């Protein structure tokens, strides 16, 4: 994949045991890689994988889940490890853990703590074009307006509708938010996996509208082996969003199915590069974990 394309795409991966050997075969350095933080893995595993990827030459963006961090001492230790490895960008979420392991119950608290420790970190926050299965639109809006002044970018929850994504960017712009937005799209993945995740992720509506890509037929046939056509969605989003000043690029949810990625990534250089805006702030009046 070309360097030009690498500047406009970020892969989200899980810190699996074989990640360091599997990723280079599918995605070359210095590509951008976002590393998840799952409850059963914990933040230490995410940070270690991020440090290892950074040493390989990747631009790594570790997720830090507020509910999985035990306290200030652990947070500072994690941040110091990342700083020493040259990692300068984070993505903060609340996390799927039911009970907080420490004092941080949502990402806003963690964002403030990270900023107090080192304002030098660039911090991404989550956006939800189709809402959140556990939170109201009013709660999402209030949270976003609170966090945006301390954030540097946004990553949207996985969505299957270019129209829904475009509408969401128009909505947040009207709220005064000018953060660069990485648009979350699925990588090549089996239809069954997408359907099983739909309700939990809150993306059911756009999932149902993802027609003409083999999905509808696969649902009827219940064929586990057919994959969703991510490339088509990416082209539709790019066509819809290329002129939008908030559009930073694509955040591809890979599900660690890295063997299917080269075909998709090789197609990306045919797209024109998007303009990445300068991070902005707004005045105070994300797997979807609670924000």
Confidence of residue 187 (pLDDT cuts 50, 70, 90): confident
Q: What is the DSSP string of 48-116?
A: HHHHHHHHHT-EEEEEEEGGG---HHHHHHHHHHHHHTT--EEEEE--S-SS-SSS--SHHHHHHHHHH
Higher pLDDT, 21 or 260: 21
287 is a domain residue: no
282 is a domain residue: no
CATH of the domain at 86: 3.20.20.220
Q: Is pLDDT of 225 > 60?
A: no
Domain of residue 26 covers: 3-266
> What distance in Å separates the CA atoms of residue 19 and residue 24, rounded to the nearest whole number?
9
SS (H, E, C) 109-166: HHHHHHHHHCCCCEEEEEECCCCECCECHHHHHHHHHHHHHHCCEEEECCCCCHHHHH
102 is a domain residue: yes
Lowest mean pLDDT among 119-123, 174-178, 238-242: 238-242
285 is a domain residue: no
How much of the chain exceeds pLDDT 90, in percent? 54
Higher pLDDT, 32 or 263: 32
* Residue 227 DSSP symbol: B
CA distance readout (Å), 240 to 74, 203, 264: 42, 19, 19
> What distance in Å separates the CA atoms of residue 115 and residue 110, rounded to the nearest whole number?
9
CA-closest candidate to residue 201, choices 286, 291, 288: 288
279 is a domain residue: no
Confidence of residue 286 (pLDDT cuts 50, 70, 90): very low
Residue 248 phi, psi (nearest 5): -95, -35
Confidence of residue 288 (pLDDT cuts 50, 70, 90): very low
State the total domains in the chain.
1
- Per-residue confidence (pLDDT) for residue 5, from 0 to 100: 40
Q: Is pLDDT of 181 > 60?
A: yes
HSE-CB at 172 with a 13 A cutoff on CA atoms is 36
Total-model pTM: 0.83
Q: Where do we find the tokens 């829904």?
A: 164
- Per-residue confidence (pLDDT) for residue 16, from 0 to 100: 94
Q: Can you say whether the dihedral through the CA atoms of 59, 65, 68, 74 is positive or negative? A: positive
pLDDT, tens only, 67-114:
999 999 999 999 999 999 999 999 999 998 889 999 999 999 999 999
For residues 233 and 164, the answer to whether their CB atoms sit within 8 Å is no
């Amino acid at each position: 994949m070309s360097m030009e394309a690498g500047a406009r795409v970020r892969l989200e991966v899980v810190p699996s045991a074989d990640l360091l050997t599997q990723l280079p075969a599918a995605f070359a350095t210095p590509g951008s890689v976002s590393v998840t933080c799952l409850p059963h893995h914990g933040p230490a595993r995410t940070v270690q994988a991020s440090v290892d990827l950074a040493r390989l030459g990747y631009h790594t963006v570790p997720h830090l889940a507020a509910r999985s961090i035990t306290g200030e001492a652990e947070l500072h230790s994690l941040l110091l490890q990342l700083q020493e490895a040259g990692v300068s960008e984070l993505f903060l979420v609340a996390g799927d853990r039911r009970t907080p392991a420490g004092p941080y119950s949502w990402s806003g608290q963690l964002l403030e703590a990270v900023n107090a420790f080192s304002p030098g970190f660039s911090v991404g926050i989550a956006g939800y074009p189709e809402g959140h299965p556990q939170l109201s639109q009013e709660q999402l809006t209030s949270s976003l307006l609170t966090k945006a002044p301390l954030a540097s970018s946004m990553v949207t929850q996985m969505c299957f509708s270019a129209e829904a994504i475009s509408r969401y960017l128009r909505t947040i712009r009207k709220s005064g938010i000018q953060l660069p937005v990485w648009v979350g799209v699925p990588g090549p993945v089996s239809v069954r996996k997408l359907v099983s995740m739909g309700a939990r992720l809150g993306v059911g509506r756009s999932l149902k509208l993802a027609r003409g890509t083999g999905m509808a037929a696969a649902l009827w046939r219940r064929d586990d082996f057919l994959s969703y056509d991510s490339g088509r969605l990416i082209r539709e989003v790019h066509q819809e969003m290329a002129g939008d000043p908030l559009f930073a690029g694509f955040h591809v949810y890979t599900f660690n199915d890295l063997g299917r990625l080269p075909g998709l990534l090789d197609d990306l250089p045919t797209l024109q590069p998007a303009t990445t805006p300068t991070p902005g702030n707004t005045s105070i009046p994300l797997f979807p974990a609670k924000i």
